[in-house]
Structure 1
Amino acid sequence: MSKSTQENLLYLSSTFSKLLKRRFGKGPETCTMMSKGNRLYIYIRNFITPAEEVLLKNNQLILVHNFRSAVINAVINEFKPEVSKVFGGKIDHFFHDWNYDSNTGIILLENVPSTDEVKMEEDFEKTLFNLIDFVGTRYHKRPVGLKVVKFTQNICAIEAREVLLQLESLAYEQGNLDLLLHQAREIKSGYLKNKSLFEDLFNRVIEDIFIVWDYEKNRNYLIFVFFK
């Protein structure tokens, strides 16, 4: 990564943290920006507010999700012009996922169309895709296609296409987001239960696993964050 790109990412990280603090009343402990092609990944640690802690203790996860989504949407709408100014191009989509137990989150911003693909050692990629198939098909529909879109010492992101069951597509069309949220939690829980299998393959300790969903385009991103 060039120095100028690193400086841009540090600037965006500082800007985003300030926006979060203004909207939430507190900023994250850390906010790490990573970029690849037309995608920007934001990894956040220690973001839960006191009000959210109370809701979580009372198992009000839907309320927490709705509150956080509303605020994050407002923050991203303010943040998108800064990203466009730094990297050029328009931000078309953004997605987010949160692990409340570990107090972490990931936000993915992208513009389309995208041709990003990481060149990975063929045998390793095949083994990775086979493992995703082995674990994932226990919990969700087998995707039509998989593609690694980012792989560094810090993160691995895999795009999966055509991942929704007919019932899930119908739930999205009818606006039944509670059902989709519950299903997404169950699927991610399944991957977390099998984290050691992926750690053995990557030969890395996995700090977090996220799955961000694009229901409109029937795809998701499986994201592994590694301990540095």
Structure 2
Amino acid sequence: MSKEKTIHTEIGSYISTLIRDHFGKGPTSAYVAFARPFITIHLRGFLTPTEKVLLKQKAPNQVLKIRDLLMKDLILEIKLGLWKIGELDVKEVYADWNLDNKSGMIIAVLNEETEQKNFEWPKDVDEKTFQEEIVRASIKAQKAPGGIDVYWLNDRTVLAERTEILVAVEKELIKNGFSEELKLAKRPLERKVLAEVQLETVLKRNIAETFVEWNFDTDKAYTVFILEPKK
């Protein structure tokens, strides 16, 4: 097994075990994409018995709030674990969940510069047009981002980084302690507007899942698109 495959396997195994230890149940699979400085871990088959009960009682936001709280406690462990696996110096950790699909996404951003040479786009996909469609979606939801970069991590994973996205009312909500409520409102809205623009047309691929998470302190958002396999 190559060194690259080994580190992918070790990261997936580590994250699966960590989640199992803290949530009481782990995912059935953890698919890792790694292109410095980004690591994404796509979790599938993840829903605990307690969460199933809460979803039956129409309380998805309660599930999301609990997960967000648990993930905050796990950030230091994730940073330490990835350092032990490959001396990966993690700067930031993000997470988002799709309860309907029993899936989730963990994003780790390493403390190093982003090198464009690590991200080669397919020749049949126009990167600029793809960025323009994401900007169109951002305008529908709030406003055009101050900056946007999109990275093709591998054949199934595309990551977009947007900066300067918050509008004045959102900044006031964050300042007054309503960050969690804002995220719960923004997640479905962002997914909705991203589905309304022509991303799949540009990609010439169907998008299986979309995950979104924010760093309100730095006014930044990460969006990860999981693509369906080529037919």
TM-score, normalised to structure 2's length? 0.88
CA displacement at 1:14 relative to structure 2: 1.1
Query: Where does 1:23-172 land on structure 2 (aligned, <5 Å)?
Result: 23-117=22-116, 118-120=119-121, 124-172=126-174
8 Å CA contact 2:42–2:105 kept in 1: the answer is yes
CA RMSD of aligned residues (A): 2.1
Distance 1:178 1:63 in 2: 11
- Residue 108 of structure 1 aligns to a residue whose secondary structure is strand
Larger mean CA deviation between 166-175 and 40-49 belongs to 166-175
CA displacement at 1:37 relative to structure 2: 0.9
Question: Residue type matched to 2:62 in 1?
Answer: L
8 Å CA contact 1:146–1:160 kept in 2: the answer is yes
CA displacement at 1:122 relative to structure 2: 11
Query: Where does 1:188-203 land on structure 2 (aligned, <5 Å)?
Result: 188-192=191-195, 194=196, 197-203=198-204
List gaps (5 residues or longer) in structure 2.
none
Question: Residue type matched to 2:220 in 1?
Answer: R
Distance 2:42 2:97 in 1: 10
Distance 1:123 1:207 in 2: 17
Deviations 1:132-186 (A, max 9, x none): 2223311121101111133421111111110111111222222202133212322
Question: Residue type matched to 2:181 in 1?
Answer: D
Please name the residue that 1:186 is paired with. 189
Deviations 1:75-126 (A, max 9, x none): 3432321211233243221111111111111111113353243354698122
Distance 1:152 1:55 in 2: 35
Distance 2:109 2:99 in 1: 24
Closer, same or farther: CA 9–151 of 1 in aligned 2, 3 Å: closer
Please name the residue that 1:206 is paired with. 207
Distance 1:6 1:172 in 2: 40
CA displacement at 1:19 relative to structure 2: 1.5
Distance 2:30 2:111 in 1: 24
Please name the residue that 1:226 is paired with. 227
Distance 1:104 1:30 in 2: 10
8 Å CA contact 2:210–2:225 kept in 1: the answer is yes
Question: Residue type matched to 1:190 in 2?
Answer: V
Structure 2 residue 2 is the aligned partner of structure 1 residue 3: yes
Distance 1:3 1:190 in 2: 40
Larger mean CA deviation between 212-221 and 123-132 belongs to 123-132
Question: Which ranges of 4 or more aligned residues in structure 1 deviate by more than 6 Å?
Answer: none
Question: Residue type matched to 1:88 in 2?
Answer: E
Deviations 1:180-209 (A, max 9, x none): 3212322222223x27x2222111121101
- Residue 216 of structure 1 aligns to a residue whose secondary structure is coil
Distance 1:179 1:221 in 2: 16
Closer, same or farther: CA 60–123 of 1 in aligned 2, 3 Å: closer
Distance 1:138 1:54 in 2: 35
Larger mean CA deviation between 166-175 and 6-15 belongs to 166-175
Identical aligned pairs, as a percentage? 24
Q: Count matched residues.
A: 225
Distance 1:17 1:89 in 2: 18
